[in-house]
Amino acid sequence: MKQSKSMNDTNQGTLHRACPSCLGTKLEVIWRKSDVDFAVCQRCGMVYIPEVLESYATGQFYEDRTESFYLSDDKLKSDYDPVRFQREWALLRQWVPSGKVLDVGCSTGGFLKGLHEVGDYETMGCDVSQGALNQAQKIGVTVLRAPFLSLPVNEANYDAITFWAVLEHLADPAAFLAKAGSMISSGGICILLVPNLHSLAIRSIGPRYRYIMTEHLNYFSAAALGQMVARVGGWKIERITSMHFNPVVIIQDALKFREEVPDAERAKLLKRTNRWKRSGLMRPLKAAYRNVESVLSRMLAADNLVMVLRKN
């Protein structure tokens, strides 16, 4: 649900990219899935897709699947479930208790919708999928229709800009971070959440893991993400952590290799995961689960990497 342009040369509908973290060009292919090569940067260890289909780079891919995935019944139920964004709301509130927040790649507005209930925020969302924005608007979320990179920079007045699972979709994530820097007020916060290259999931099952997928162009470790942040400049890293752990996904994917998990099945599992989080029957299991998640978090080995940045 995110967009990008530019970078290196374009030919026959694909975009050739250097390493998004260090701009290195020496790479080695380590995985191949759905006819796409995934490479590791020989300089910094970042994993990324070097040849990107233009429909991913322009965001057209996300526009095309809005109806089938983002607006499907199961996906909407999952996005609007009160437990879905609990950790994200808590994290934002911890750093920015109130103020003006922009969520980039807001999709159908699940994060912003509930944010009003946890604090006094003025919220705005933007996304490349117009269909998803229509849905967000329908539930009362204020949306910006222009692509993020084209938004006016004259008002650097956001207290926070959030990227929940967005940078992995972008051909040029550094450009988005730089743009965020131009829109946040001095001392404001930017939160990045990306799939974690050094998660237990990827360490244990590698490319079998369903979130190693062709629409995920970038796989950051904490070091690679930190390096990209430093290259963009203007930020102080306040916190690096990792969150979320879904053992069901790891077990399913370990048992059965599939090039792609169908959208409908992914949406259904997301919805079911929320139901488990609420279920009383699961209480003893949940305590054990929380312990595992907290250990993984501290080891930076949970599913997603989170970085909290403060604008200088």
Interface residues with Zn ion (CB under 5 A) are 19, 21-22, 24, 41, 43-44, 46
3-state SS record for the chain: CCCCCCCCCEECCEEECCCCCCCCCCEEEEEEECCEEEEEECCCCCEECCEEEHHHHHCHHHHHCHHHHHCCHHHHHHHCCCCCCHHHHHHHHHHCCEEEEEEECCCCCHHHHHHHHHCEEEEEEECCCHHHHHHHHHCCCCEECCCHHHCCCCCCCEEEEEEECCHHHCCCHHHHHHHHHHHEEEEEEEEEEEEECCCHHHHHHHHHCCCCCCCCCEEECHHHHHHHHHHHCCEEEEEEEEECCCHHHHHHHHHCCCCCCCHHHHHHHHHHHHHHHHCHHHHHHHHHHHHHHHHHHHCCCCCEEEEEEEEC
How far is the CA of 164 from the CAs of 1, 89, 168, in angstroms? 11, 11, 10
Torsions phi, psi for 257 (to 5 deg): -80, 125
Say which amino acid occupies 7.
Answer: M
Question: What is the CB-side half-sphere exposure of residue 186 using CA atoms within 13 A?
Answer: 1
- The residues, ordered by sequence, that sit 6+ positions from 285 with a Cβ below 8 Å of its Cβ are none
Residue 285 token pair = 């299991």
Least distance between Zn ion and beta carbon 18 (Å):
8
Q: Which is nearer to Zn ion, 102 or 171 (CB)?
A: 171
